[in-house]
């Protein structure tokens, strides 16, 4: 459990300069995830649900 993370050769080869893929960048950005994780259920569950309740017709 106490491995040294820097045991491999610290080379500045291609791997080090390789651009980080977009999906990995998304995973590395907790605040973007926070925004998505709050916005999705707010819109799809709460806002949509409340709109349906408000739209229930009045009985004849």
Partner 1 sequence: MAVNRNFRTCPSTGLVYHEPAEKLIRWNAVAGVVSLLVGGVLALLVTLTRWPAVKLLPPDWFYLALTAHGLDMLVFWIIFFEIAVLYFAASTLLKCRLATPKVAWAAFWLMIVGALMNNFAVFKGDSSVMFTSYVPMGAHPLFYLGLILFAVGALIAVFVFFGTLVVGKAEKTYNGSVPLVTFGAITAAIIATFTIAAGAIILIPTFLWSVGLVSHIDSLMYRTVWWGFGHSSQQINVAAHVSVWYAIAAIVFGAKPMSEKVSRMAFVLYILFLQLASAHHLLADPGLTSNWKIFNTSYAMYLAVLASMVHGLTVPGAIEVAQREKGFNKGFFEWLRKAPWGNPCFSGMFISLVGFGFLGGISGVMMGTEQLNLIIHNTIYVPGHFHATVVVGTTLAFMALTYFLIPTLFRRELMFPGMAKWQPYVYGLGMCAFSVFMMGAGTLGVPRRHWDMAFSGAILPHEFPGTAYLMMGIMAVSGIAAVVGGAMYLLITVGSVFFGRKIETPGFKRVPVREGMAPPPAPVAVAPAGHGAIGLGGFVAPGTFVLAMIFLVSFVLYYFVNWKYLSTVWPMN
Partner 2 sequence: MTAIHSPAQRVWWKQPLDRVEGTWIVIAFVWCLVMFFMMPYWHIYGKQNLSNEAYRTTPEAYVAKTQAMVDKYTVRTATEQNIPVVHPVPGSDVYLIARLWNFWPILELEEGQTYKLHIMSTDWLHGFSLQPENINVQIHPGYEHVMTITPTKEGTYSIICNEYCGINHHTMASKLYVVKPKKS
Please report, as ranges, the residues that interact with partner 2 according to CB under 8 A.
1, 3, 5, 8, 15-16, 18, 20-21, 23-24, 56-60
Among partner 1, partner 2, none, residue 47 binds (CB under 5-8 Å by kind): none
Distances (CA, A) of 11 to 3, 18, 27: 19, 13, 25
φ, ψ at 20 (rounded to 5°): -75, 125
Q: Residue 38 — left, alpha, or beta (φ > 0 → left; ψ -120 to 50 → alpha)?
A: alpha
Q: Interface residues with partner 1 (CB under 8 A)?
A: 1-2, 5-6, 8-13, 15-16, 23-24, 26-28, 30-31, 33-34, 36-38, 40-42, 44-46, 48-50, 52-53, 56
């Amino acid at each position: 459990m106490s491995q040294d993370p820097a045991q491999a050769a610290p080379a500045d080869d291609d791997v080090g300069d390789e651009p980080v893929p977009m999906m990995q960048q998304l995973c590395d950005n907790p605040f973007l995830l926070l925004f998505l994780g709050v916005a999705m259920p707010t819109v799809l569950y709460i806002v949509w649900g409340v709109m349906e309740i408000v739209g229930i017709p009045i009985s004849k």
